Structure 1
Amino acid sequence: MKDDAEPVILDDPGRLKALSHPLRRRILHRLRAHGPATSTTIGEVLGANTGTTSYHLRQLEKYGFIEEIAERSAGRERWWRSAQGPRDLRTPPAEALSPEDRPLLAELLRLGHAEDMELLGRLPESYARDRAWAMLSRGFTHMTEEGLAEFFEAYIRLLRQHGHSREDAPPGARPVNIRLFTLPADED
C-alpha cells in the first residue's frame, strides 16, 4: 500500500450505488481478505447463488473495485480479485451530491456503521483470543479543525507506510480491519 495516490472521492452516484449493496460489500471484503475467487466459490462461502454473485461481481468490476484475472479465467469460469491501486476511498460531503443521490450516501454510511458495530461486537472475544492482532486505543484531546485534518492525513500516511496489498504482503501478514473515526465530544 505504499503508494502516493490521491484519495478517491466517491462522488460518482454509480460508484456509491455499487458500494451501497450489502452483498457487494461482502464480496469485496472476501476478495480483499482471502484473495482471488470465482463467482461459484464466493457464492458458496456467502450463501448466494452463482447468478447473483456473477451479477454483483460485474457491478463491482464496472466501477473499478475489482478486476478479472484474465490469465486465470477459462470458458465460463472467471476469476476475480480486488482491484489494484489506491485504497483511500472517501465519501463526499452530502452537499456535494445532488439531492436525489444523497440517499445513496446515507445508505453507504448506514452499511459502514453496521459493519463497524459488528466488528466492535467481536472485539472482546478477539482481544481475549489473539491479543497480538486485536489492539485498541481510545483517545481524547482538544484539536482545531485544521489540526484534526492534519492528524487524519498523517494517519492515512501511516496506513500506507505500514500496510501491504495482499499481493505484496510479506510472510506472516494477515488481513486486518482498522477503523478511525472522530466525533465531537461536546455534543452530548
Structure 2
Amino acid sequence: MARTPRYNRVGAETLKVIAHPLRMRMLGVLRAHGPNTATGLAARLGESSGTTSWHLRQLADAGFIEEDTERGNRRERWWRAAQEVTQVVSHAMPDDPETQDAYGTFLTALIDLGYERSTRYARTRHALPEAWRHVSELSDWRMSLTPAELRQLAVEVNELVNRYHRDPAEGDEIVTVQVQMFPSGQDT
C-alpha cells in the first residue's frame, strides 16, 4: 500500500548543511540501509570515524537525522534518517551569492551521486537476477516545453513516484528513481 513519504523541505540555512557530498552520501546510506553508527558509516564510505561523527552531528543539528535511542549504548550512538525525502524548493531560495553557491554545490553533489549509481548499475547489470535485469530503464527525452509545462510535468512525476512509495516488503530491492528536468538549450 502506498504511503506519503516524510519530507524535509530545506531552507537556506539547512541547505548549507546538506550541501556537502559526504553528508549527502551518509544521509543516503541511512535512508537506504537503515540506522548506523559513525564507525559503520566510516567503514562503508571509506572515511575516518572522527570525520563521520562530526558530519553526523551537523546533520542532526539541522534535523536531517536523529539518534536511534532503541539501539546502542553510551559508547555507541546509532543514527537514523529523520525523513525519507529531502526537497529543495529552488524558487524559495534567496538570491544571495552564499545561498546560491550552496545550492550549486548541493545540485552538483546530487548529480555526482546519480552518476555513480547509474555507472555502477551499467557496469554490474549483467550480474542482476533475471527478474531485475530486464525491468530497469535509463531513458532520455528531449522536449519543447514552457516553464509552466515543465513545472506541471515535475508535479505529475512526483505524484507518480509517491504513489509507489511504501514500506519495504519481502523480495524488494532498493530502487533508485532519478529524474532530471531542466532547460538545456540547443546542446546535443
Q: Considering the TM-score relative to the shorter chain, is it more than 0.5?
A: yes
Distance 2:22 2:8 in 1: 24
What are the Cα deviations for residues 18-43 of structure 1, in whole angstroms up to 9, with x where unaligned?
21222212211111121111111111
1:144 Cα offset (Å):
3.0
Which residue of structure 2 lines up, in the alignment, with residue 12 of structure 1? 12
1:89 Cα offset (Å):
0.8
What are the Cα deviations for residues 39-59 of structure 1, in whole angstroms up to 9, with x where unaligned?
111112222222221111111
- Does residue 111 of structure 1 match 2:112? no
Which runs of 5 or more structure 1 residues have no equivalent in the other structure? none
After the TM superposition, which parts of structure 1 deviate over 4 Å for at least 4 consecutive aligned residues? Answer: 4-7
SS at match of 1:80: strand
Output aligned runs, 1:16-165, within 5 Å.
16-84=15-83, 87-93=85-91, 96-130=94-128, 131-132=133-134, 134-164=136-166
Distance 2:181 2:18 in 1: 22
The code of the aligned residue for 2:47 comes to: A
Note closer, same or farther for the CA distance 1:56–1:5 as it changes in structure 2 (3 Å cut): closer
The code of the aligned residue for 1:179 comes to: Q
Note closer, same or farther for the CA distance 1:186–1:98 as it changes in structure 2 (3 Å cut): closer
The code of the aligned residue for 1:150 comes to: Q
SS at match of 2:80: strand
Which runs of 5 or more structure 2 residues have no equivalent in the other structure? none
Note closer, same or farther for the CA distance 1:41–1:99 as it changes in structure 2 (3 Å cut): same
1:100 Cα offset (Å):
2.7
Distance 1:91 1:99 in 2: 17
2:21/2:106 contact within 8 Å kept? no
TM-score (norm: length of structure 2): 0.82
